[in-house]
Amino acid sequence: MKGLSLTLAAAAVCAAAAPDWQRLLDRQDWFELRKAAASHAAPERVKAALASVFHRDPQAVPLLEAVIAGARSPREAEEARSLLINLHFRAGRYASALRETEEAIQRNANRADLRGARAMFAAMRADLAVASSAPDRGAWRMIDGNLFTAASINGVQGEYLVDTGANISLLSASEARRLGLSAGSLGGPLKDAAGGEVSVRAAIAPEMRLGGVVLKNAAFGIVSDDQQPFVALPEGKRGVLGIPVLIALGVLSWSKDGGVATGGASSGCADANMVFAGAMPLVRGEYSGVPLTFELDTGATRTSLWPAFAKRFPRGLEKSASVDVTGIASSRKAKAARLPSFSLALGGRTATLQDVRLVLDEKSRLAGRVGMDMFADAERVTLDFASMCIAVE
């Protein structure tokens, strides 16, 4: 009987220690959710969410559809449909994203973000497709701290900014004309990092080549030439390669010797350290041995920290002048602090940055944003969207 009592007590402890799945989903702490799901029997909605944010495509699609069909509450269905819309969007399946968005609007017609998304997806029209993919090596260059690589659109050469922080690819109006693209219907306003909005029209490039990868129906948002970052850029460089195009490459790496590789084999890493929040890639790093999650924004020249970091590590922070937060449509002054030295272990390498700013009005649970300065001294950086891994050497 004593042994039976101990067994029952142990079972009770295990039951009490079961994760609060809804709380983890609400927090969108995907790495902690993955950890919990590895040691407990996770509900189907958790399995579907993890498959989506770790971009296990197309495995995630039927899982999310099953959750929507069998949802026990409108909230559960809405959360699953939001994940499904974002999955289709970043994969360039605009028709599917449009269909799911229209379903969501029928259930919540008052959401302006859904109406804006519907306009964008309708304007994109055709789905992005990979016509062929082969390993290839080209060249990149840094312009004002940003990474640019060669691309050919309709046979016309250009060099465009690689921007993981852009949920769509962009061209200036003059660059679209140079490439022979005509802007179609209004895709709705696009929000930028500074909180501003810019009107965007859509254009579809029938063929686009990046190294050994050939894409069909690459969608671009077309904005005026007086928008950042195009104002100071010369002809042939007024473009941004956003997440749908970068995911289609599968693997993208750049090295210190000036080479860029596309279309290579996936590393197949077992422990993914990248995840998607909507269309924004997040990365898991370590500061002072503590795991932290950051946005990965190769369109940002400098790494920045956010209040969630300061709350956890208040020591060492100093007063600072305000900083400029700049987006494609606007810029603003933000109160800031500074950390004289910041070391982050990310993707197998530790980098140390000096005088890192902490933006005090950023409202996010994330520790900050990793920008291109984090990779300034790296021998090679590899973004593997097939395995959702970043490797830094």
Q: Write the pLDDT tens digit of every residue in 76-129.
A: 999 999 999 999 999 999 999 999 999 999 998 888 889 888 988 999 878 999
Is residue 13 within a helix (H) or strand (E), and if so which, with residue range? helix 2-16
% of the chain with per-residue pLDDT over 70: 91
pLDDT of the residue at 193: 60
Helix and strand element counts for the chain (H, E): 11, 23
Q: If you average pLDDT over residues 29-53, what whole number do you get?
A: 96
Question: Between 204 and 270, where is the model more confident?
Answer: 204
Residue 184 near residue 125, CB atoms below 8 Å = yes
Q: If you average pLDDT over residues 320-346, what whole number do you get?
A: 82
| 3 state DSSP class of 258 | coil
pLDDT of the residue at 322: 79
Helix axes 30-39, 44-53, angle to 10 degrees: 130
pLDDT of the residue at 196: 66
The distance in angstroms from the start CA to the end CA of the chain is 58
At residue 4 the predicted structure's pLDDT band, cuts being 50, 70 and 90, is very low
Q: How many whole angstroms separate alpha carbon 50 and alpha carbon 25?
A: 10
- Name residue, tokens 């449509």: 329
Sequential DSSP letters for 173-207 = HHHHHHTT----SEEEEEE-TTS-EEEEEEEEEEE
pLDDT of the residue at 13: 43
Taking the CA of residue 112 as centre, how many other CA atoms within 13 Å lie in the half-sphere pointing to its CB?
Answer: 4
Q: Which domains does the chain have, with CATH numbers?
A: 33-124 (1.25.40.10), 129-251 (2.40.70.10), 274-392 (2.40.70.10)
Residue 337 near residue 319, CB atoms below 8 Å = yes
Q: Is the peptide bond before 19 cis (omega within 30 degrees of 0)?
A: no
Q: If you average pLDDT over residues 37-46, what whole number do you get?
A: 95
pLDDT of the residue at 142: 92
Of 224, 217, 247, residue with least CA distance to 124: 217
The partner residues of 11 in beta bridges, in order of sequence, read none
CA distances from 226 to 131, 154, 223, 321, 366 (A): 34, 24, 8, 28, 32
% of the chain with per-residue pLDDT over 90: 75
At residue 321 the predicted structure's pLDDT band, cuts being 50, 70 and 90, is confident
221-244 residue pLDDT tens: 999 998 888 988 999 999 999 999
Strands 239-241 and 251-255: unpaired
Q: If you average pLDDT over residues 156-173, what whole number do you get?
A: 96
Average pLDDT for the chain: 90
Residue 205 near residue 218, CB atoms below 8 Å = yes
Strands 318-319 and 336-346: antiparallel
